[in-house]
Structure 1
């Protein structure tokens, strides 16, 4: 269930609910800006801002505010070491937003926008940290270009206390070609992670009856055409029933040179054969080296589909973070170290292109 759907349901049931959000994180912290919890009147909650003492303190503050009938927005700054005894050493600013029945129509509007694909808002945090937070919708698409928000981020703040938030579908697109055992395990492994998955297989009855909410099923007549249609920045996984189709997909993906990760399931022998064929068809050494094969090599040696999927999920998270760091519109946080962050493969440490 989406963020605003949970808030709306809580208002229907209890008449009050609180949303707790990490607004800023300075230094080491358990979670990043945009991490959210929804706290109910009875003390139950959804989500996490990192666990530990910080989370318990935030839960206590949100419950106290709900019982006092607090309205609007408030902020609390926590020094994780001196205030909470946590060893992280950083400081976080946590925002508490309280909703009651008077905001039901606003929440319902946000819920419908989120269900339709998401949206981006910009708001001014009140001076002094207490007051009313008024959101203005700046984009109807949650993945629309907003320079301050990298592709996988949900919140960013400016020096003028302006806050930009993304609601709805968040995350980089992952193309998974093939609905075999590993493909099915990988889809499940990616279900709770910040990715939008396009699961592609032309075979009739290839897909299971039910798939996670972040998955879109694609049954193309020509899977290679899906590579041409994919948005730049997508992560590409190739694991079909056919080695010939695998090669065609990898060839097409490398020729576009817009995907930060192109991985193909297989052995060292398959990698050698593919490398030879790709070179014969005109790919240079750098392009061939960019192919990640075998995938999931940095994890356990187990060949269980779920074990491979767990390893590949880690690779994709690393690839996403690296690509976000080096492709930010303002370049903040990017640099040579980020651009050269290694991703493990069975063939060694392959340095990804920016």
Structure 2
């Protein structure tokens, strides 16, 4: 068990983009190692806090890891008789709710830490993604980025591409057009990216495509200008909104629709044996 408590573990998992399960005792009957409301968090490698240890906790962790293996959001309510199923001598019964949160698979790389990047990172902080901000200017490593953003200082941002995960999304908006072009060439020379976008006017886009063609590069995978044309404005935040809207639209179009595993309220009420008051009314 890790030293972090369950609430600290949730923050740590979210910041790292790891999948995790929150296990909560939503009902206890008889003698149990912990009271109702107790929580623990489980990820792929560790558990945080405790539901009382022993076979109960082993079973909960085992079930949580099975949910994590599907890497999708889901919920499960599981009754566990401690004597019959967990072989614990206290002999009570518990009902555990398992809430599984999938690992983040949306990886975004931002080349250039200028005004638009600063604005865009604020928006991406509220989306289910992990962000890397790559820049050759040390002064932008100010430590004020959102929790899901990592600043990478690199004297040669082009060489940093080799360290980036496959199928990630790449946005280019550096302070140097020549660096922009070099980044485009390096990214377009590889076939494993989900998206390559370049900020700029239609004139810049035309010139870059001409240069790429002259250098024998296929620019089919390059989106330039980046952002939704319907979202107007030239302020950094307006441009960032346009880019974020485009990224979000493309990302969700590409996502498969999963069935969400849930337990119905009728089943939950049966599991925790909530008495029905026939005289109660709803306003």
**TM class, shorter-chain normalised?**
0.5 to 0.7
Question: Is the 8 Å Cα contact of residues 297 and 311 (structure 1) preserved in structure 2?
Answer: yes
**Aligned mate of 1:266, from 172, 196, 200:** 200
1:212 matches 2:146: yes
Residue 209 (structure 2) aligns with:
275
**Aligned mate of 1:198, from 132, 135, 145:** 132
Matched residue count: 213
Structure 1 residue 267, shift from structure 2 partner: 0.4
Matched residues in 1 for 2:23 and 2:101: separation?
16
Residue 233 (structure 2) aligns with:
302
TM-score in terms of structure 2 length: 0.62
Higher relative contact order (CA 8 A, sep 6+): 2
1:134 matches 2:60: yes
1:314 matches 2:226: no
CA displacement 1:50-93 (0-9 Å, x = unmatched): xxxxxxxxxxxxxxxx9xx7349xxxxxxxxxxxxxxxxxxxxx
Map of 1:1-354 to 2, 5 A cutoff? 4-5=6-7, 70-71=27-28, 101=35, 104=38, 107=40, 113=46, 134-136=60-62, 138=65, 146=69, 148-149=70-71, 153-155=72-74, 165-166=100-101, 170-284=104-218, 288-325=219-256
TM-score in terms of structure 1 length: 0.51
Matched residues in 2 for 1:224 and 1:231: separation?
14
Match of 2:140, SS? Answer: coil
Residue 52 (structure 2) aligns with:
none
CA RMSD of the aligned region, Å? 4.2
Matched residues in 1 for 2:9 and 2:194: separation?
36
| Structure having the higher Rg | 2
Structure 1 residue 113, shift from structure 2 partner: 4.0
The 1:242/1:109 distance shift into structure 2, 3 A limit, reads: same
Structure 1 residue 307, shift from structure 2 partner: 1.2
1 or 2, which has the higher strand percentage?
1
Residue 86 (structure 2) aligns with:
none
Matched residues in 1 for 2:124 and 2:223: separation?
18
The 1:208/1:8 distance shift into structure 2, 3 A limit, reads: closer
